[in-house]
Chain A
Amino acid sequence: MLESLYSTWIVPAAFAGVAWGILGGALPGISPSITMALLLPLTYGMDPTVAIVMLASTYVGAEYGGSIPAILIRTPGTNAAAATVVDGYAMKQQGRAGEALGISLYSGFVGGLFGLFVLVMLAEPLSNVALAFTPQAYFALGVLGLSVIASLSRESLIKGLMAGVLGLMISTIGTDPVTGLNRFTFESPELLSGIPPILVMVGLFAIGEMLAQTGEAGLQAVPERPRIRFPGPAMWRRIALPQAIGSVIGTFEGVMPGGGGAVSSFLAYNEARRWSRRKDEFGTGSPEGIAAPEAANNTVACTALVPMLSLGIPSSNSAAVLLGGFLLHGLLPGPMLFVQNPEVVDGLFLGLLIANIAMVIVGYLIMGPCIWLVSRPKPYLMAFIYALVVSGVFAIETSLFQVGVALGFGVLGYLMRHVGVPLLPMVLGVVLGFMVESNYRRALVLSDGDYMIFMQDRLSAALLGFALVFIVGSLFRHAVDARRGNAVGSS
């Protein structure tokens, strides 16, 4: 593993990714997934390990970056930093902004290291069944991944399913995996190899969000430039429990589909308050109220990679974009990744370790540029993001057609936001569609059309069973939520 440290650009990639992530995360409205999507095309020419480390480090940095405007201007840079606003801004009003930022940074570091430990412990054992994977098992794995849609569609199950099917339909564009016939290509040579998932992600997340923010007011300028003050031993002891709470909650939420940093940070805040001896201080500038959510969302940045790396199933937008990074470099996350590309996995683990250390160093040094960037007029920021998107997408295959496709998906992403259709199910459909179709058909070729092959293979049957349990559980939860909603409505 250490060899990769010396032989590649992992260290500078981790530092650069963290810096980019902090800057992106500090911009309200630019989520970690958008920050990663903007970087994705730039990594095209890089060594795969370096590119993946840079993207994963961006995720780590963005989770901390979101707390900067949360503390300084009461505006969370990311959804996950919303819980930090409460006590972070209260501390800032008391003239303790530097201390609040230091606690956020230190807690993010602790949470990140814990998350990395969990990732290393869980990812490889989960993937140890790699050699047992047959086409029917891969199909079942894809179905398990798609079953996640049921839990991701909180607002409307129907809309989530529609988005998922749309993604599956997009995945059928291009050459048929079995017969080699062209499907939905409209005789366009650019569509023969299908639509790369990266274009879908950049369009849906980055361009769609840019369109959504068009016409919205800019941000207030940051009035001061505080100096980060790291906590001393007394404060370490005080925030150790909320950090532990945040790390444990972040672990569970990270591996759960749809959990994500925002949910985990609010849960962590609530639990930290419940277990605190100084409950009354929460909401008035409690360091514990910053430590718990920040530890939680940085834990998620690592644990969200467990299902993505070991099973190839992204559980959040950011994990989906990272999956796009793997695909862009010809790597297929999932069971075989640990067998075929162990150097990438080792490099990623090492890179995440460096990224968490880099977060402390870069986070301290980058405060000035961060505040400068957050204070820029919004029209300039939007223009530069747009320039980055069109330049970056062109760079993937030097194709203006692809820039047009990304813009098209931007419109689609905007419309989906407009009518309340979640984005991630569609990304899941695009990413998993090919795997589902090609392995489904291969399995049936092997069995001469006998569908029992999916039940006869133990792994396939188990995965399909899990998918069924997952779907039934999600439907049950939807039904309970709907019943509660009706009860509240009638009362």
Chain B
Amino acid sequence: MLALAIGYYLLAAQIPESQLADAVGPQGLPRIYAYVLGSLSLVLIARALRASSAEPISPPRSGRLQPALPGPPQDGHYVQEENAPEPGQSPEPRGHSQVLRAFGVIVIGAVYIVTVPWLGYLVSLAALIAATTYYQGGGLNRRVAIVSVSGALLFWLLFVAILGIQHPAGFWPSLF
């Protein structure tokens, strides 16, 4: 984040001055944002350094109150669920292998973006569905193939035929 703040500040400094500029100017608030982000990053770094030099006692962590699962709450009370994410907030941290696995999903999306102008929407989307299903542990068999093709047809019907959105057709029209 500190590097991002520095990079953003340097980019903000390169914004040219304009004769139309007001007192604040186009650089004004971006510079302030960079200062604030940089300062917050430094505070976070300082905290992390202080925590790493302190004894390795895990501090109490906040979590939401939740009834004990799987059973009903004891005497109607809640138990503190450690590290439970707040709505819209972060779940527990994961291992590096899971992070890498998650990024594989993005690679599938990136391949889709690259291939769709060439292969066309229908074929690329069927490939995306098949690849994602396989990647998520669904195997690679006839059922996956049928679901992928019919799924792509369903999306084509919805977006292209019904909503009239011109998704890339690929090289197919040139063949006919």
A26 CB, nearest partner CB in chain B, Å: 17
Q: Which among A168, A380, A485 has the highest number of chain B CB atoms within 10 Å? A: A380
Flag whether A355 is at the interface (Cβ < 8 A).
Answer: no
> Count of chain B residues with Cβ under 8 Å from any Cβ of A?
90
B55 CB, nearest partner CB in chain A, Å: 12
Please report the C-alpha to C-alpha distance between residue A421 and residue B98 in the assembled complex, in whole angstroms: 18
Cβ contact within 8 Å between B87 and A279: no
Cβ contact within 8 Å between B132 and A420: no
Flag whether B173 is at the interface (Cβ < 8 A).
Answer: no
Stretch of A176-184, A232-240, A325-333 with 4 or more beta carbons under 8 angstroms from chain B: A176-184
Nearest B-chain residue to A269, judged by Cβ:
B67
Cβ contact within 8 Å between A394 and B109: no
Please report the C-alpha to C-alpha distance between residue A450 and residue B93 in the assembled complex, in whole angstroms: 47
Please report the C-alpha to C-alpha distance between residue A83 and residue B70 in the assembled complex, in whole angstroms: 12
**For window 168-225 of chain A, which residues contact chain B by CB distance below 8 Å?**
168-169, 172, 176, 178-181, 183-184, 205, 210-212, 214-215
Flag whether A351 is at the interface (Cβ < 8 A).
Answer: no
Report chain A residues within 8 Å CB of B23. Answer: 441, 444-445, 449
Flag whether B86 is at the interface (Cβ < 8 A).
Answer: yes
A-B contact number at CB 8 A: 252
Cβ contact within 8 Å between A481 and B62: yes
Please report the C-alpha to C-alpha distance between residue A79 and residue B64 in the assembled complex, in whole angstroms: 10
Cβ contact within 8 Å between A45 and B163: yes
When the two chains form the complex, which single residue of B30, B67, B129, B151 contacts A172, counting CB atoms closer than 8 Å? B30
Residues of B within 8 A of A (CB): 1, 8, 11-12, 15-16, 18, 20-26, 28-30, 33-34, 36-37, 40-41, 43-44, 47, 57, 59-60, 62, 64-67, 69-70, 72-74, 76, 78, 85-91, 93-94, 98-99, 101-106, 108-110, 112-113, 116-117, 121, 125, 128-130, 132-138, 147-148, 151-152, 155, 158-159, 163-168
| Known contacts A283-B72, A404-B113, A417-B85; 7 further A-B pairs (Cβ under 8 A) | A90-B72, A260-B88, A378-B136, A379-B134, A388-B155, A390-B125, A400-B117
Q: Can you pick out 13 interface pairs between chain A and chain B where the beta carbons lie within 8 Å of each other?
A: A155-B86, A161-B36, A162-B1, A183-B30, A184-B30, A214-B98, A215-B137, A266-B65, A270-B78, A403-B109, A441-B23, A441-B24, A481-B62
Cβ contact within 8 Å between A42 and B72: no
Nearest A-chain residue to B75, judged by Cβ:
A283
Please report the C-alpha to C-alpha distance between residue A410 and residue B30 in the assembled complex, in whole angstroms: 24
Report chain A residues within 8 Å CB of B93. Answer: 418-420
Please report the C-alpha to C-alpha distance between residue A183 and residue B31 in the assembled complex, in whole angstroms: 12
Cβ contact within 8 Å between A489 and B76: no
Nearest A-chain residue to B73, judged by Cβ:
A283
A422 and B90 in contact, given A158-B40, A215-B101, A273-B76 (Cβ under 8 angstroms) = yes
Cβ contact within 8 Å between A161 and B87: no
Report chain B residues within 8 Å CB of A260. Answer: 87-88
When the two chains form the complex, which single residue of B22, B59, B132 contacts A178, counting CB atoms closer than 8 Å? B22
Please report the C-alpha to C-alpha distance between residue A423 and residue B87 in the assembled complex, in whole angstroms: 10
Where chain B touches its partner, the secondary structure class is: helix
Cβ contact within 8 Å between B26 and A383: no
Q: Which among A82, A214, A380, A440 has the highest number of chain B CB atoms within 10 Å? A: A214
B111 CB, nearest partner CB in chain A, Å: 11
Cβ contact within 8 Å between B103 and A411: yes
6 nearest CB pairs, A to B: A379-B138, A283-B72, A379-B136, A383-B132, A211-B102, A449-B23
Cβ contact within 8 Å between A169 and B33: yes
**For window 384-400 of chain A, which residues contact chain B by CB distance below 8 Å?**
384, 386-388, 390-391, 394-395, 398, 400
Cβ contact within 8 Å between B128 and A390: yes
Nearest B-chain residue to A79, judged by Cβ:
B87
A351 CB, nearest partner CB in chain B, Å: 21
Cβ contact within 8 Å between A165 and B40: yes
A400 and B113 in contact, given A383-B138, A387-B128 (Cβ under 8 angstroms) = yes
Cβ contact within 8 Å between B67 and A85: yes
Cβ contact within 8 Å between B44 and A183: no
**For window 27-46 of chain A, which residues contact chain B by CB distance below 8 Å?**
31, 33, 42, 45
A383 and B16 in contact, given A282-B76, A391-B159 (Cβ under 8 angstroms) = no
Cβ contact within 8 Å between B26 and A178: yes
Report chain B residues within 8 Å CB of A211. Answer: 102-103, 105-106
A183 and B69 in contact, given A379-B137, A383-B132, A440-B24 (Cβ under 8 angstroms) = no
Report chain B residues within 8 Å CB of A403. Answer: 109, 112-113
Cβ contact within 8 Å between A380 and B72: no
A387 and B26 in contact, given A82-B66, A179-B21 (Cβ under 8 angstroms) = no
Report chain B residues within 8 Å CB of A172. Answer: 29-30, 33
Cβ contact within 8 Å between A162 and B105: no
Please report the C-alpha to C-alpha distance between residue A269 and residue B134 in the assembled complex, in whole angstroms: 42
